[in-house]
């Protein structure tokens, strides 16, 4: 951030806004009420929960998911 150190001055803005962050579809997002367990091989499994889907074909709004992650 930068700007004038004097009071009552107009704000400054970048000529171009920054690019939006990329979405990582290789890891699950934050979920509530999901089920997790570790199998005998030490792999962590995650099923379901309430949150946002990583599927680009699902409308971006929180919902109950049926996704399975290892």
> If you write DSSP's letter for every residue of 3-57 in order, what string do you get?
--SSSS------SSPPPPPPP-TTS---EES-EEEE-TTS-EEEEEEEE--S-TT
Q: Read off the pLDDT band of 4 (50, 70, 90).
A: low
Distance of CA 62 to the CA centre of its chain: 11
Predicted TM-score (pTM) of this structure: 0.56
Read off the pLDDT of residues 16-44 as tens digits, 9 standing for 90 and up.
878 877 777 788 878 899 999 999 999 99
Measured between alpha carbons, how far is 60 from 6 in angstroms, rounded to an integer? 42
């Amino acid at each position: 951030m930068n700007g004038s150190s004097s009071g009552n001055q107009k704000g400054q803005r970048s000529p171009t806004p920054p690019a939006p962050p990329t979405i990582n579809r290789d890891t699950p997002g934050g979920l509530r009420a999901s089920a997790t367990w570790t199998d005998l091989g030490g792999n962590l499994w995650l099923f379901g929960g309430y949150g946002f889907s990583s599927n680009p074909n699902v409308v971006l709004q929180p919902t109950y998911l049926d996704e399975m992650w290892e």
